Amino acid sequence: MSLASILKSKLVPTELSEQINRIRKPIGSLGYDPWGYNNEAIKYGFSLTRHIYEKYFRVEASGVDSVPAEGPVLIIANHSGQLPIDGLLIGYALASRKDKPRMPRAMIERFFPTVPYLGNLLNEVGAVLGDPINCAKMLANNEAVIVFPEGVRGSGKLYQDRYQLKRFGNGFMHLAMKYKATIVPVGVVGCEETIPAIANIKPLAKALGIPYAPLALPVVLPAKVHLNFGPPMFFDDREIPEEQVTDRVEQVKGEISKLIDKGLSERKRLF
């Protein structure tokens, strides 16, 4: 038995492997899809995330069953906490649900593909470069896609601005309308406290070619995370002026804001 298969038997229990194989994915003969998702890599990722999800952040997810079992879905959430931990946790919540699990895809920042090792690793576990064409093609493939319309405005915000929603881009709404995708709003509470940043060192970020360089402790704090999935929202594909699209975006934003408030009121303590 090779080292790889011993490691695999230790890290990936058979039932987990079977569960992942059961989740239908449009993959090719070698287990890859066009965006680099890999059926084998995801098993390691899933097993590792289980510990992070259950033991470290002790995530409490409610309403995850409101994500439809099939068809195109856009999961829209607030972004926070410097690293895309929120995306990982939402993804795991949906992939591990008892009834009809789905393996969602997350749209990631444009600079990730340029980072050696990390870029490929993220692709293998289902993350995809945040490009509208990618999102459109995935919705056409009936995937569930996690989108953070705040982008770096959200993930890079400072601790003092926690739980204040930044401007939402309208792109996701156009895609949802065009591909008749269901929108599921999610309020994430707790990720703001994982890496509290007190400042953003802009010259350093510029020098390194990254979106922001937070001044923060070099650890990820084990804050307790609450994920609240809201009821699904549907929008028709009528030709409407941009102003009305923005209104629809505001509607989703309002829903997320309510879900965040719910999470904050449920939360007993930070850790």
> What's the min distance (Å) between Cβ of 32 and other proteins?
5
Judged by the rule CB under 8 A, the positions of this chain that interact with other proteins are: 28-30, 32-36, 38, 110, 113-120, 123-124, 128-129, 131, 133-134, 137
Q: In angstroms, rounded to a whole number, what is the distance separating the alpha carbons of residues 140 and 180?
A: 10
> Least separation, in Å, of the C-beta of 215 and other proteins?
24
> Rounded to the nearest 5 degrees, what angle is found at the Cα of 126, between the Cα atoms of 123 and 127?
60
Is residue 173 within a helix (H) or strand (E), and if so which, with residue range? Answer: helix 171-178
Closest CB to other proteins among residues 30, 219: 30
In whole angstroms, give the CA distance from residue 174 to residue 202.
32
C-beta of 32 vs 44, nearer to other proteins: 32
Q: Which is nearer to other proteins, 113 or 222 (CB)?
A: 113
Alpha carbon dihedral 258, 96, 102, 47, in 10-degree steps, equals 120
Q: Which is nearer to other proteins, 117 or 269 (CB)?
A: 117
Task: Count the residues in the chain.
Answer: 271
> Closest distance between other proteins and the C-beta of residue 3, in Å?
15
CB of 188 to other proteins, least distance (A): 26
C-alpha distances (whole Å) from 254 to each of 102, 165, 250, 251, 269 are 26, 10, 6, 5, 25
- CB of residue 133 vs other proteins: minimum separation in angstroms? 4
Nearer to other proteins, 115 or 264 (CB): 115
